[in-house]
């Protein structure tokens, strides 16, 4: 496969003045007629007229009304074109029903829908399918289906047809079309300047009772973007459509967002609190793209973080404002460490702005998205809130309607603040997670913190330069009072010291408050100091971090030294968890343990080969000890977390239910599942039903409940995904692969549906000890199914190959087994470009 490089960017030889598309929809023979006006691009020197196109049957093509015979290429066509304005007309035929890759125009449950990001438009018609080519689109859809939607505003409609016009120039990746037998949940929103906008969530008949929450989230997002960023919606209508077969979460097509139904449909009976929170965040994320992504887009796909990092940053700000800021921050860091750190520390490591790729779909990663958002958080911390607001205003003013780069983005910050951000820019070009070592000194009332930063080599980058690290620090006195409130230290050197003078006694530092930089803090804090921080730190993040560190260190000691659970920590944590003045959601996070994968990484970094079974056993023992030694506080926690009001998926109620779920897990260890069984039988919402079912599975007492759950929910695809995923995810290590295999033989296992495939195999990959079972059955099963799926859906296959990204952590036998699986995948005849690239990077 061909490698594309950032350094080779060249503008396209023509600009597109306007695009007219007519779709004559038919499942196996859709005709797409295009009429596009091109003019020479004054910024380009190369006038080659080459259009992208894949899997298209060209019926006819004309320039200025005369037939032309293009040179047909593997990925498009080439024609002699005039060096002046001209009209290109083409008719192509495509087969949406045969499109199982879910990219371009495809069908899901009888409904037509599109997914064009990143390079799906070229499967619809011939076009310069690149984000820097922006144009105004007019679309006519011809079909007998009752609902026909596209981007922009509706222009006209009649029996069997509809026309849409999008006045905002956009790249082809934001094009969308939907046609189906759909029903809507309508609403309206009046913008700050008084514009009345029609809102709709379109779903399959039967799902209309699952739209209300998404609609409220949409209106809250629209209001928030006006209030916080001064950004107003810019069309007469905003449509959201729920689709069952979808490769990712959702897509921000201009005026017509398309969602994986799992990311929009919600009801108390069928969705958990976590589902509700995720739906709220994704609706916000896609809506926020209207400005950060659509009005200002990316010049090329290397700049993906320009829209994704910023939009993730904006959606986390939104969630912090809607819910609890500390809880959101901690949850984001758990995610970052769980998904981005392993990526950045393994064979798939790449910069936030990659410099080359073979298949861009493989770069929609935690690094581009989540690390990209962390970089913006650091920038804001360094320049301050006011300067951030000023820079953002400048960004929107200066670049509206443009396709931009990270250079443009940083320039507005330089202009708004007068700062030189050239060193900061390394966050975009250097891959890998910086490691930050700390030492301290106290002398004559002056406390000195010395930091050393070091980033280990990553693929293609052996030597790293120091990065700018904002390190938020607070100092506490021995009695727990704060002697120095949070101060942001700006580290720019490889080694740097910072002094705090005028202190009476040596303070206890609270370092990297709020996780102010995405680094690994290497500090051997004593157990006493962490216990102190767990009790006293005024920074909620670091208070949680202290407990997490104690949990991790305790578990590592159990694994490597065979010692028992750390009872001092268990007692200190017990006090915090029983403290009813603390937010229940925060307490639920306090008592969550480090993941088994995180423990494997820590052991690996300490030079110990991780044994997944030993990690599982230590974690299980600790949970058992926790349950036993906290038995006396459980009744009060049960009382405190009871929700008596009607179900609301808000921060308050969901926090209580999160804590209650942890309590139930402890109770189950003590009573074998009696309380969980009762909760399962009486639950009137999915959060309670599913937490009870999880406990019953873990107690080996779920046979009846699993059957009852299936009988109750077999007709609800989204709930059935939970049923599939939970069984594999919560299976005992020795059973996980067998469980997954048995589920693939279940009549409801529709492997071509990405949600169902991910439920089973994502569940398997998340079951650390199960996936890494010593006999290699987890690896083999996943490899078999990835090979099978690749022929149908390369994008989802390639993403799921990341299950193997940590393979070098483990013992020689497991490594050999994983390598053999990856090699077997790579040798599959006809393997897609997506999976070929992933597997070759994984094998390094």
Strands 104-108 and 147-150, bridge-based pairing: unpaired
Q: Does 285 bind ligand HT7 (CB under 6 A)?
A: yes
Which residue sits closest to ligand HT7, CB atoms considered?
248
Q: Determine if 252 is a binding residue for ligand HT7 (CB under 6 A).
A: yes
156: its two tokens? 């006209």
Task: Look at residue 247 and give the partner it binds from ligand HT7, Zn ion, none, a contact being a CB closer than 5 to 8 Å depending on partner kind.
Answer: ligand HT7
Q: Which stretch binds ligand HT7 (CB under 6 A): 77-85, 247-255, 424-432, 829-837?
A: 247-255
How far apart CA 333 and CA 594 sit, in angstroms, is 12
When asked if residue 134 is in the footprint of ligand HT7 (CB under 6 A), the reply is no
User: In angstroms, how far apart are the furthest CA atoms of the chain?
Assistant: 88
Query: Which residue's CB is nearer to ligand HT7, number 118 or number 720?
Result: 118
Q: Tell the residue number behind the tokens 């939009």, with chain if given.
A: 311
- Which of Zn ion, ligand HT7, none does residue 570 bind to, with CB < 5 to 8 Å depending on kind? none
Q: Closest approach of Cβ 250 to ligand HT7, in Å?
A: 6
Task: Among 251, 327, 533, 786, indicate the residue that binds ligand HT7 (CB under 6 A).
Answer: 251
Q: Which two tokens stand for residue 816?
A: 């050999």
Q: What is the CA radius of gyration of the chain?
A: 27
The pair of structure tokens assigned to 502 is 């005028």
d(CA 418, CA 276): 42
What is the rounded (10 degree) CA torsion for 695, 724, 686, 263?
130
Span of 112-120, 315-323, 537-545, 561-569 interacting with ligand HT7 by CB under 6 A:
112-120
> Residues interacting with Zn ion, by CB under 5 A?
308, 311
Non-local CB neighbours of 644 within 8 Å, separated by 6+ positions: none
Residue 115 contact partner, candidates ligand HT7, Zn ion, none, CB within 5 to 8 A by sort of partner: ligand HT7
User: Per rule CB under 6 A, is residue 247 in the interface with ligand HT7?
Assistant: yes
* DSSP code of residue 115: E
As to burial, measured by CB atoms within 10 angstroms (0-12 exposed, 13-18 middle, 19+ buried), residue 634 is middle
Residue 622 burial (10 A CB sphere; 0-12, 13-18, 19+): buried
Catalytic center residues: 286
Closest CA to 254 of 172, 185, 195: 172
CB 359 within 8 Å of CB 837: yes
Distance CA 735, CA 400 (A): 55
Nearest to Zn ion of 174, 664 (CB atom): 174
Q: Does residue number 364 form part of the binding site for ligand HT7 (CB under 6 A)?
A: yes
620 near 768, Cβ under 8 Å? no
Taking CB under 6 A as the criterion, the residue among 108, 115, 294, 597 binding ligand HT7 is 115
Q: Which is nearer to ligand HT7, 251 or 572 (CB)?
A: 251
CB of 246 to ligand HT7, least distance (A): 6
Please report how close the Cβ of residue 744 comes to ligand HT7 at its closest, in angstroms: 24
- Of 308 and 332, the one with the shorter C-beta distance to Zn ion is 308
By beta-carbon proximity to Zn ion, the closer residue of 101 and 368 is 368
Q: Which does 349 bind (CB under 5 to 8 A by kind): ligand HT7, Zn ion, none?
A: none
For 244, the enclosing helix (H) or strand (E) is: none
What is the nearest approach in angstroms of Zn ion to the Cβ of residue 77?
Answer: 31
CB count, 10 Å around CB of 205? 8
Residue from 63, 178, 197, 248 touching ligand HT7 (CB under 6 A): that is 248
| Stretch touching ligand HT7 by CB under 6 A, among 42-50, 114-122, 384-392, 613-621 | 114-122
**Would you count residue 286 as binding ligand HT7 (CB under 6 A)?**
yes
Is 839 a binding residue for ligand HT7 by CB under 6 A? The answer is no
Using rule CB under 6 A, residue 117 touches ligand HT7: yes
Give the count of beta carbons closer than 10 Å to the beta carbon of residue 27. Answer: 12
- Least separation in angstroms between residue 301's CB and ligand HT7 is 10
Dihedral (Cα; 90, 91, 95, 100), 10-degree rounding: 10
Tell me if 424 sits within 8 A of 468, measured CB to CB.
yes
Interface with ligand HT7, residue 308, by CB under 6 A: yes
Q: Which residues bind ligand HT7 (CB under 6 A)?
A: 115, 117-118, 247-248, 250-252, 285-286, 289, 308, 364
């Amino acid at each position: 496969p061909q490698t594309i490089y950032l350094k080779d960017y060249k503008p396209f030889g023509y600009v597109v003045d306007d695009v007219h598309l007519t779709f004559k929809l038919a499942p196996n023979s859709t005709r797409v007629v295009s009429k596009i006006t091109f003019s020479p691009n004054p910024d380009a020197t190369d006038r080659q007229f080459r259009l992208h196109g894949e899997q298209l049957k060209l019926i006819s093509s004309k320039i200025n009304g005369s037939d032309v015979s293009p040179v047909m290429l593997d990925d498009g066509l080439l024609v002699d074109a005039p060096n002046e304005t001209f009209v290109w007309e083409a008719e192509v035929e495509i087969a949406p029903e045969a499109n199982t890759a879910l990219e371009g125009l495809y069908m899901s449950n009888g409904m037509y829908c599109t997914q064009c990001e990143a390079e799906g438009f070229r499967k619809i018609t011939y076009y310069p399918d690149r984000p820097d080519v922006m144009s105004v689109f007019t679309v006519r859809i011809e079909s007998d289906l009752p609902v026909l939607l596209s981007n922009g505003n509706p222009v006209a409609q009649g029996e069997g047809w509809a026309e849409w016009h999008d006045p905002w120039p956009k790249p082809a990746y934001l094009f969308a079309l939907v046609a189906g037998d759909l029903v809507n949940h309508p609403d309206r929103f009046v913008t700050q300047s008084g514009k009345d906008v029609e809102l709709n969530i379109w779903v399959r008949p039967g799902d209309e009772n699952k739209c209300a929450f998404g609609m409220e989230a949409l209106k809250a997002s629209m209001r928030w973007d006006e209030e916080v960023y001064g950004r107003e919606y810019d069309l007469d209508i905003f449509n959201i459509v729920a689709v069952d077969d979808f490769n990712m979460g959702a897509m921000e097509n201009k005026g017509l967002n398309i969602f994986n139904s799992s990311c929009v449909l919600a009801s108390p009976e069928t969705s958990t609190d976590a589902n509700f929170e995720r739906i709220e965040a994704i609706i916000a994320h896609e809506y926020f793209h209207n400005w950060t992504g659509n009005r200002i887009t990316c010049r090329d796909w290397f700049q993906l973080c320009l829209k994704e990092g910023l939009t993730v940053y904006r959606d986390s700000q939104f969630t912090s404002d809607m819910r609890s800021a500390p809880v959101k921050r901690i949850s984001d860091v758990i995610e970052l460490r769980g998904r981005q750190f392993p990526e950045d520390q393994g064979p798939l490591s790449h910069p936030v702005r990659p410099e080359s790729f073979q298949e861009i779909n493989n770069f929609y990663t935690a690094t581009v998205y989540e690390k990209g958002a962390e970089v913006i958080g650091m920038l804001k911390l360094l320049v301050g809130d006011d300067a951030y607001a000023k820079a953002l205003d400048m960004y929107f003013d200066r670049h509206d309607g443009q396709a931009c780069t990270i250079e443009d983005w940083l320039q507005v910050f330089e202009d708004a603040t007068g700062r030189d951000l050239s060193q900061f820019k390394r966050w975009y070009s250097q891959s890998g997670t910086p490691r930050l070592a700390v030492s301290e000194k106290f002398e004559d009332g002056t406390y000195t913190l010395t930091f050393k930063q070091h980033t280990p080599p990553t693929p293609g980058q052996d030597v790293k330069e120091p990065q700018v690290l904002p390190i938020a620090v607070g100092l506490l006195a021995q009695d727990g009072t704060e002697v120095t409130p949070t101060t942001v230290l700006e580290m720019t050197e490889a080694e740097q010291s910072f002094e705090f003078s005028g202190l009476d006694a040596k303070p206890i530092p609270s370092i990297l408050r709020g996780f102010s930089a995405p680094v690994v803090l290497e500090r051997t804090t004593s157990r006493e100091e962490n216990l102190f921080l767990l009790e006293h730190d005024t920074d909620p993040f670091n208070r949680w971090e202290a407990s997490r560190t104690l949990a991790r260190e305790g578990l590592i000691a159990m694994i490597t030294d065979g010692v028992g659970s750390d009872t001092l920590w268990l007692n200190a944590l017990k006090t915090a968890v029983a403290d009813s003045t603390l937010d229940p959601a925060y307490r639920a996070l306090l008592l969550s343990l480090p993941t088994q994968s995180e423990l494997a990484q820590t052991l690996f970094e300490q030079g110990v080969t991780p044994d997944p079974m030993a990690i599982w056993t230590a974690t299980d023992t600790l949970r058992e000890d926790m349950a036993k030694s906290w038995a006396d506080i459980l009744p009060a926690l049960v009382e405190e977390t009871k929700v008596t009001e009607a179900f609301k998926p808000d921060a308050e109620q969901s926090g209580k239910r999160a804590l209650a779920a942890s309590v139930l897990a402890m109770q189950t260890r003590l009573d074998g599942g009696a309380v969980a069984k009762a909760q399962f039988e009486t639950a009137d919402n999915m959060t309670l039903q599913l937490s009870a079912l999880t406990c019953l599975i873990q107690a080996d007492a779920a046979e009846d409940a699993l059957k009852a759950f299936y009988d109750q929910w077999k007709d609800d695809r989204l709930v059935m995904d939970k049923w599939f995923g939970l069984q594999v995810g919560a299976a005992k290590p020795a059973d996980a692969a067998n469980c997954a295999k048995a589920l693939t033989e279940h009549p409801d296992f529709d492997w071509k549906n990405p949600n169902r495939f991910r439920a089973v195999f994502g569940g398997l990959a998340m079951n650390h000890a199960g996936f890494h079972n010593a006999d290699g059955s987890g690896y083999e099963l996943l490899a078999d199914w990835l090979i099978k799926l690749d022929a149908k859906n390369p994008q989802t296959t390639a993403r799921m190959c990341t299950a193997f990204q940590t393979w070098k952590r483990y013992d020689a036998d497991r490594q050999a087994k994983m390598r053999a699986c990856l090699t077997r995948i790579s040798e599959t005849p006809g393997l897609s470009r997506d999976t070929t690239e992933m597997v070759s990077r994984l094998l390094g």
